[in-house]
Each structure stands twice: as C-alpha cells, then as structure tokens.
Chains A and B, each alone.
Chain A
Amino acid sequence: MAKKRTIEEINEKIRSGRAVVLTAEQVSAMGRESTPAEIAEKVDVVTTGTFGPMCSSGMFINFGHTDPPMRMERVTLNNVPVFAGIAAVDAYIGATETALPHDQYGGAHVIEELIAGREVLLHATAKGTDCYPRTEVKTLISRETVNEMIMLNPRNAYQNYNVAVNSTTGIKYTYMGTLLPSFGNANFSTSGELSPLLNDPEMRTIGVGTRIFFGGATGYVAWHGTQFNTGKPVNKHGIPIGNAATLALIGDARMMSTRFIRAAYFEKYGVSMFVGVGIPIPVLDEDMARRVMIRNSQIETNIIDYGSPGHDVLGRADYASLFAGEITLNGKKIRTAPLSSVKVAREIAETLREEITAGRFLITEPVEQFQKTSGLNSLEIRL
C-alpha cells in the first residue's frame, strides 16, 4: 500500500525543513525511472509555473480621497480609460483597454508602470454631488500614493490551449501571434509539463483559497475562472485536449514584480499582459504522483485553423513535438513556436520550490472544491 499524506503532514515537514520539493520538470524526468508509488513515497510537493499572455486580467485600485472629495465617474490613467462605475475612488484597470488611436499602449502597460514604481497621470471627471462636490482632478499617482493595488484576473492559467495555424494565403495577426500564410508556422501557448492545471488535471488539490505564486508575490485562487470547462474530452493520460479549466486569481500587486508581470502588444490584435503563475501541488497519494509525473509527450492539444471563420479543428499535436520545433499536419511539416516563456515558467517553479523548501510557503487545503461543468454557453442572437 503506497503512502498517503495529508496537507497538514506535508506542512509539518515544510515547517521543519524536511519536505522534499521538486519542480514539475524534475518530477517528470524522475518519472522515467520511478513508479508512481516510489514518487508518492519520496516527494512531498511539486511546483509548477507558467508565464504567458493572459488577456483576462486587471487590477483594482483605490486612489485615496481628495479634499473636497469626489466621486470619480470618467477616469483615465496615462490616457487609458479605466472602469470607475463603482464607489467613489475605486477603479478597475482592464489589461486590454486602450485609447484609440494609441492602440499599442493599454491597461497592461499602466499596470506594469505602477508595479515598477513609476508615476502615472490620473485624470478624473464627475458631475459633482452634495456629498462629493469636486468635479475634476488631474494629478500624478504611484504605488506609494494609492491605498490598494489588488490584481484580480477573471481568467488565468488556462488548462491547455490550442495550437494556431493559418490556412489562408495572407498573414493573420492574432492573439496567438503572427500566423504566416499556407501553414507557415504553428504557435502554441502553455508551459506543457510545467503548467499548473496540467499537473492536477482534475483539480483535486486546487480550489477556492489555494495559495499560489502570483506575479512575483503570494496570491490566491479566488474562484474558478470564467469559461471554466471540465467537460472537454480527455486523452488516455487524463489530460483535457484543448482549452478546458481556468482560474480566477487574486493578489497584492504592490508586492509584485515586473519580472513576472509584463505588458504586451500583439500586432493588429491589441494589448495583453504576461502573467506569472505558479501553483504547488501536494503529492497526497499515488494518484497525485501519477498526475505530476505527466510528460510533454503525454499532453495533447487541438490544432486550430485561425484562418477559417469557424476556427476549424484540423488535427492534434503533443507538446514534445511542439517544443521540439516541428509538428506534422496532413503530411506537411510545420515549424512551431511558443508564445509563453518556458524560461520564466522554470524560474517561477524554481522560486516556489526554494520558498517551500525554506519553510516560507505553506500548502493550503482548498476552502472549496470546484464544481464540474458540462460545457459552455455560447451567445445566441435573439433579436
């Protein structure tokens, strides 16, 4: 009978500096020679990491009150509109927001500037009320002057994602990067065997309240992410094929670093933000050991034609081939390229490994597990 452990037992080992912590890559390599039972015996925690463009991201900010006070209605930061349809001096900076015609600078850039400690121009207007008489303010703000910077991203850390190709005769500019004509390239965007939700595909250990590495700071899983879908078909290794589960994440952006939060602009698509996420996976038993041993060759995803209006599924690829630089589709060899940084993902997994080994980061039991879903609604045009 293989060993089983509880989160509390693992935390006890972490506190006393006895926990065996490996990165997901290390445990995948170890899995070539060890059985799940052996890994369950030896390893307590496996750390994961990903650093990719995650458009569904943003940050709540509280500017502090002016004297006399103001209920800010229309607000811009460095000329980028931010959402202020909440209480007086709260706002939400959406990562992809831009102010035309300057579509290359957006919310993500404002967030990066604030995290970097730079000053940002705030301009707000309002109608003025009896309780909030001021109608306009223009001033400089920074990380040091505001009350809160809370990053709350509704959809991050996608469990698997499509490979993008282009069947047409012209270049396609997409959120999956530049797609060359006639299947000139194939772009993909996960960190494969390092990716958080691919190491615990059924989310046995990840749920509401899970403590994580988030943008260089400590963060938490706030909820399941939007478009959360556990209804995707899985391959024989239990890995969903194509984009499936997602996470909503929350953390203190004042503690974050621009090493792990970076603004990006995808040509003729728009602004996005690279977000660094790392999740520790406790090896509770043999089943979890088997999960974290997953290798790139065992993770598969759909090849999607971004040149077709319906985004047709053309085939399937595994991450060993994707990372090796070439996949085959209908007999044709296609060069592959990643969009998410494995280099930084490794750094995240390694940082988290060191933090846990040193006893500074404890593992959490989810406050609540995620519910299973059976698929997603699409938007029907009913008028």
Chain B
Amino acid sequence: MKSRRFVLTFPPETTGEPITYNLIRKYDIMVNIVKADVSPGKIGHLVMEMTAPAKVLKEGMAYMEQQNVECVPIDRTITYREDLCIHCGACSAVCFAGALTMNRKTAELSFEPEKCVVCELCLTACPLKLFSIDLG
C-alpha cells in the first residue's frame, strides 16, 4: 500500500458531512492530516496523506467528488521551474519537511513533492522565485 499526499479543497458551503471521518470509517483509508486551513464560509484546504489499496483510494476519491471536495495529488499543486534553477540551495534552508534537499554528490537540488507539507516557505525563500503553488 502506498501513501500519497493530496491537497483537498472544500467549497465554502459545507454539506455537514464528516468527510474525513467517513474516509476512515466507511472506506478504511488511513488518514494523516498534514496541514489544515478550514473555516466556515470560506474555501478550505486540507493537506492529507492517504494510505489504502488503489481500489479503495479510488472509491474514497469518488466519494469526495460527490461531496464537491476537490482532491489533487500534491505534486500537481506545486510548480518548480527546474529549467531556470541555479541550485543555490536557499529553498532547502526553509524546507523543514525535507522535500527540498541538496544532493551532496551532484550539488543539485532534489525535490520530492511527496514529502511536501505545503508550508509555502520555499515560495519566498527562492531568490529566483521559481516555485508556485496552485491550490485551485
């Protein structure tokens, strides 16, 4: 079973459904909330790691779609202009999640979106402004 990280976007109008609870109880998906920014009347975001067999995960995602919750794999929400990168390492300084690290041997920046917690610190730490995040 693979763990994957997703960015969930909740519409401002909630249905009252306990979505995370249902993902756990009804679908038996192991859920790990990495970051949450949800308040009533506003678009909410949840960064969540989900662990389940592929089939179950698919069913859970279909359920979320029914509830108007957008669920996007984390690597599709972060854009990094690798072609323009000078591999200085300034972004790795702020990435406490360990998604951005310097490869000691090649001295190149390595980006593992699966480890990202969407703290957004790299957006400002990159002196060339090569990161952008689109949460929809």
Contacts and interface: CB of A to CB of B under 8 A. Distances in A.
Contacts of A187: 90, 93
Q: Interface majority SS on A: helix, strand, loop or mixed?
A: strand
Contact of B94 (A180, A272, A341): A180
Interface stretch (A4-12, A132-140, A152-160, A260-268): A260-268
Contacts of A262: 86, 128
Interface stretch (B24-32, B34-42, B64-72, B119-127): B119-127
A339 B88 contact: yes
A6 to B, nearest CB: 35
Interface in A160-205: 173, 177-180, 184-185, 187
Interface residues of B, number: 21
B95 to A, nearest CB: 9
Counting contact residues on chain A (CB < 8 A from B), the size range is 20 to 34
Contacts of B94: 177-178, 180, 185
B93 A274 contact: no
Interface in A309-340: 323-325, 335, 337-340
Given A178-B121, A180-B96, A338-B89, A324 B104 contact: yes
B129 interface: yes
A343 B125 contact: no
Contacts of A344: 86-87
Given A187-B93, A267-B125, A337-B93, A274 B88 contact: yes
Interface in B87-106: 87-90, 92-94, 96, 101-102, 104, 106
Contacts of B93: 177-180, 185, 187, 335, 337, 339
Contacts of B62: none
B59 interface: no
Contacts of B87: 341-344
B33 interface: no
A71 interface: no
Contacts of B107: 341-343, 346
Nearest to B87: A343
A274 B126 CA distance: 13
20 contacts: A51-B86, A53-B88, A178-B90, A180-B94, A185-B93, A185-B94, A187-B90, A262-B128, A265-B127, A265-B128, A274-B86, A335-B93, A337-B93, A338-B102, A339-B89, A340-B88, A341-B88, A341-B89, A344-B86, A344-B87
Given A185-B93, A324-B104, A341-B86, 11 more contacts: A177-B125, A178-B90, A180-B93, A180-B94, A180-B96, A184-B96, A337-B90, A339-B89, A339-B90, A339-B93, A342-B107
